[in-house]
Amino acid sequence: MSSKSMNKAPSRISDLQVWKQYPLGWRLVAGYAVLFIGSVIVLGALAYGLLVYFLQQPDRAFMETQARQLAATYEAGGPQAMRRMLERNAADEQYQELVVRLTNDQGDTFFLHNPDNWQAPDLDRLAAADSPDTASWIPLGAAQDQDPIEAFALRISPARILQVGMDAPLSDEILRSMKWVFLASALPVLLIALIGGMLLAHRALRPLRTVVHTFETIIETGDVGKRAPVPEVQGEFAQLAHLFNQMLDRIERLVEGMRTTLDNVAHDLRTPMTRLRGQAELAVRSDSTTEDELRDALANTLNASDTVLEVLETILNVAEMETGTVSLQRSRMAVSDLAATVVDAYQFVADEKDITLTTDIPQPLFVQVDAGRMRQALANLLDNAVKYTPPGGRVTVQAAALPANDTYAARLTVRDTGMGIPAHEQPRIWDRLYRGDQSRTERGLGLGLSLVQAIVQAHEGRIEVESETNEGTAMHVWLP
């Protein structure tokens, strides 16, 4: 590649970068103006070309017709017959502008009919024209009187060439006027292009300006409840405004969720932290504290710190599962063994609430899972089932084998007869730290189901909820 071409490439890139620095509105105006003016120029050139064609066509047709008639007359009676033919038509205005010349390949003149008084330089250019093989047009440009002239050359014998020419003052005057019209209309066309471009750009960018204004309002006030008006006419900007509003809806839900989460975290951490501080202060301030009382205080302090650590560890577990940073230790495990350990752990709690806890798992049924993580997920599901099932209710852990051609090996279900989950809350129960209205009466941060979903998805499984208010809930887990 040459150094010149290498220097031109950075220049083009630099020009493009400078062009992109201008506001979008100005670029649209400039683009529209260039497109409009270019279209006008193309249409004007096309109109001018058609006008030239239609103005010249009658004169050309007349010259060619007369040339062929004169050629036939010459063949019949020679130059004298041509002269008589021209004299007979001398009263015709078109014949008065007709120049007829008989010549040979060397440019010698054997016959000349010049009623329009073409001057010598014009005739010299006619004589210097190339000889045609059969017939051709000879463009001669402007005559000495500035009228355009043209001639038609016809070979009438091996040694003779007939040239018939005319000037076209009227056509030239029309074309000259047409040029002045184009030049005079250039400035109005430019103004129309710029004004039209500004109006169209202003109207086209109006939805974008409303989106920008909404952004600015949100930034200034912090009110994420603002929404951009969606244009009635559907198009790209209407879609942009709609997507922008959807994004704001999601941001508003996230902000509201963060506020609710902070309230829940503050509420659930305040109790163990208060107990921890109270026990520590009691042990420090009392002079008569016995060794047993100190042990009790330390035990209570450890219990409170364990509660805080459990909350923090659950939050970290959910984050690690969602980001995929946890490595699973998968192994082939019987579903019955997996469920038995967790069910035994919650049997006492269920008995205390007078809840029947049963299992229905066929043998043998195996899955490839991380035993510790899957027990953690199943424990969360059982904890919720027992927690939200009233006394006298039932909680059942079921499992079913799936066909060999299915993506998953087994489906595990935790079913209860509790209060159920309202339909409008079901899509959000998987959100981290979300707690439904009915669940606020129970202790918890709302991290359980988000952790369960994260664990199941980390195993490339699937989890779904089936629930009706006051009818109970079934959590279905598909495992590989």
- 459 in any annotated domain: yes
Residue that finishes a domain, picked among 292, 321, 350: 321
Among 151, 172, 193, where does a domain finish? 172
Could you tell me if 245 and 296 lie in one domain? Answer: yes
CA–CA distance, 51 with 175 (Å, rounded to integer) = 8
Are 347 and 443 within one domain? yes
In a domain, 63, yes or no: no
Could you tell me if 168 and 95 lie in one domain?
yes
Q: What's the pLDDT at 82?
A: 85
The CATH number linked to 289 is 1.10.287.130
Residues 312 and 255 in one domain: yes
Q: How is 306-353 classified by DSSP, letter by letter?
A: HHHHHHHHHHHHHHHHHHT-PPP-EEEEEHHHHHHHHHHHHHHHHHHT
Whether residues 365 and 300 share a domain: the answer is: no
- CATH number reported for the structural domain that contains residue 152 in this entry: 3.40.1840.10
CA distances from 431 to 253, 267, 342, 479 (A): 11, 19, 24, 21
Structural domain boundaries, residue 456: 327-479
What was the pLDDT predicted at 194?
72
Residue 213, token pair as written in the block = 């204004």
Domain boundary among 150, 172, 194: 172
Same domain, 280 and 333: no
Same domain flag for 373 and 459: yes
CB-CB contact of 395 with 355 (8 Å)? yes
Domain membership of residue 472 (yes or no) is yes
* Region at 242 (left for phi over 0; alpha for psi -120 to 50; beta for the rest): alpha
Burial of 40 (0-12, 13-18, 19+ CB in 10 A): middle
Q: Are residues 277 and 350 in the same domain?
A: no
Whether residue 409 sits in one domain with residue 312: no
Write the CATH number for 414: 3.30.565.10
CA dist 405 and 393 (Å) reads 37
Are 297 and 273 contained in the same domain?
A: yes
145 inside domain: yes
* Same domain, yes or no: 308 and 388: no
Regarding whether 360 and 297 lie in a shared domain, the answer is: no
Signed CA dihedral, 310, 314, 315, 320: sign only: positive
Residue 172: per-residue pLDDT:
57
**Residue 350 within any structural domain of the chain:** yes
Position 323 scores a pLDDT of 61
Domain assignment present for residue 31? The answer is: no
In the beta sheet, which residues pair with residue 466? 474
Q: Look at residue 21 and tell me if it is in a domain.
A: no
User: How would you write the pLDDT of the chain (480 residues) with one tens digit per residue?
Assistant: 455 544 544 554 455 555 556 666 666 667 777 777 777 777 777 777 777 677 667 778 888 888 888 888 888 888 888 888 888 888 887 777 788 888 888 888 888 888 878 788 888 888 888 888 888 888 777 666 666 777 888 888 888 888 888 876 555 566 666 667 777 777 777 777 777 767 776 676 677 777 777 777 777 777 777 776 666 656 666 777 777 778 878 777 777 766 766 666 666 667 677 777 777 777 766 666 677 777 777 777 777 777 677 667 766 666 666 565 567 788 898 988 888 888 888 888 888 899 999 999 888 889 999 888 888 889 889 988 898 899 999 999 999 998 888 888 899 999 999 888 888 888 888 776 666 555 544 554 456 787 888 888 888 899 999 988 888 899 999 998
The Cα 436–Cα 155 span in angstroms is 103
DSSP character at residue 438: G
Q: What is residue 130's predicted lDDT score, i.e. its pLDDT?
A: 83
Count how many domains the chain has. Answer: 3
In this predicted structure, what is the pLDDT of residue 297?
A: 73
Note whether residue 209 is domain-resident.
Answer: no
